[in-house]
């Protein structure tokens, strides 16, 4: 399985260094989460561990390899580095991209897939260089949670929108309007494109961080990012959430539940429901 870190996937024709780790496969998701703190773009799981990909010729190697050395001391892990000359990564990616189905609730496919039968909702998401296809546990859980969350006629905020998948799904489920922001131009533009593909006209995408929408307030907020950004942003997220509103967060490992929940309580949120899939959590706060 391939995971895309943050807002990136392989750039077209760009050279990469592949770091192949040999570790206990049960630690794969934990290793991916820890390595995501360095500038690795993409991760691929295999039977003996993971492979982490890093753009070559960018000067990232010292930081990345220092982190790998630290992890090798903490875990039973070894790694080897391989240079990969640039190819048509999008073509390679398409051959490995498969539709995602969340029960009979919804399905996510790219425009080169055939329509999917037997689901209530279908999204066409072409991620290009943005994160959010439903393949990773975090996005899958957020999509699943949308079947439960109150959305009808609400004003929502999608923080770190990636492909726009959550904003688009919320629109289809009756949300009044969704503001979506991301710090990566590829994600912001991809959200606009995917909204058009899905016939959604009430998603406003912007380039920037959480400060880009300060001074406004919302009935509900999505934050499918990572623990560090969520913890850092909680006071602002609380200020953006109307009384009686809700916050849905994901990108959190199982062992971080208490840290995130306690921090959320300190700023005025109350946990309502927690879902887990693999080693990852999705938490709904009110």
Q: Domain 130-285, what architecture?
A: 3-Layer(aba) Sandwich (3.40)
Q: 266: pLDDT confidence band, cut at 50, 70 and 90?
A: very high
- The whole-number pLDDT of residue 27 equals 86
In tens, the pLDDT along 40-65 reads 877 887 778 898 888 888 888 999 99
Count of beta carbons in the 10 Å neighbourhood of residue 61: 17
Q: 2: pLDDT confidence band, cut at 50, 70 and 90?
A: very low
**Which carries the bigger pLDDT value, residue 28 or residue 242?**
242
- The whole-number pLDDT of residue 21 equals 94
- The whole-number pLDDT of residue 91 equals 57
How many C-alpha atoms does 152 have within 13 Å on its Cβ side? 2
Q: What is the mean pLDDT of the chain?
A: 86
What are the extents of the domains in the chain? 2-91, 130-285
| Domain at 2-91: CATH code | 3.30.70
In tens, the pLDDT along 181-240 reads 988 888 888 899 999 999 999 999 999 888 888 788 999 999 998 888 899 999 999 999
Structure tokens at 166: 């959550």
pLDDT cut 90: percent of the chain above it: 52
DSSP strands (E only) in 5-139: 16-22, 42-46, 49-55, 78-84, 100-102, 106-109, 121-124
Cα 96 from Cα 247, distance rounded (Å): 33
In tens, the pLDDT along 148-174 reads 999 999 999 999 988 899 999 999 999
Average pLDDT score over residue span 108-122: 89
- The whole-number pLDDT of residue 26 equals 83
Eight-class DSSP state of 103: T
Angstrom distances, CA of residue 94 to CA of 5, 99, 258: 17, 11, 38
Average pLDDT score over residue span 253-258: 89
- The whole-number pLDDT of residue 121 equals 94
**Which carries the bigger pLDDT value, residue 10 or residue 255?**
255
In tens, the pLDDT along 67-100 reads 999 999 999 899 999 888 765 555 555 556 688 8
Q: What's the pTM?
A: 0.72
Cα 140 from Cα 133, distance rounded (Å): 8
Average pLDDT score over residue span 170-179: 96
């Amino acid at each position: 399985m391939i995971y895309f870190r943050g807002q990136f996937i392989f750039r077209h024709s760009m050279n990469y260094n592949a770091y192949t780790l040999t570790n206990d496969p049960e630690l794969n998701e934990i290793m991916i989460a820890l390595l995501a703190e360095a500038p690795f773009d993409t991760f691929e799981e295999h039977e003996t561990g993971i492979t982490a990909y890093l753009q070559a010729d960018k000067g990232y190697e010292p930081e990345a390899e220092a982190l790998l050395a630290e992890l090798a001391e903490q875990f039973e892990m070894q790694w080897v580095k391989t240079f990969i000359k640039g190819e048509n990564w999008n073509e390679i990616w398409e051959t490995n991209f498969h539709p995602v189905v969340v029960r009979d609730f919804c399905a996510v496919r790219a425009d080169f897939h055939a329509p999917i039968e037997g689901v209530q909702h279908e999204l066409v998401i072409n991620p290009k260089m943005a994160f959010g296809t439903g393949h990773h546990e975090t996005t899958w859980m957020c999509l699943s949670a949308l079947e439960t969350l109150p959305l009808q006629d609400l004003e929502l905020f999608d923080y770190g929108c990636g492909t726009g998948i959550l904003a688009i799904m919320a629109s289809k489920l009756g949300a009044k309007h969704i503001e979506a922001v991301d710090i990566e131009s590829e994600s912001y533009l991809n959200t606009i494109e995917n909204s058009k593909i899905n016939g959604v006209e009430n998603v406003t995408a912007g380039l920037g961080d959480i400060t880009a929408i300060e001074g406004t307030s919302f009935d509900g907020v999505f934050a499918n990012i990572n623990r560090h950004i969520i913890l850092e942003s909680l006071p602002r997220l609380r200020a953006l959430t109307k009384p009686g509103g809700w916050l849905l967060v994901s990108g959190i490992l199982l062992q971080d539940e208490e840290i995130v929940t306690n921090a959320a309580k300190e700023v005025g949120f109350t946990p309502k429901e927690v879902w887990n899939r693999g080693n990852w959590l999705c938490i709904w706060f009110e």
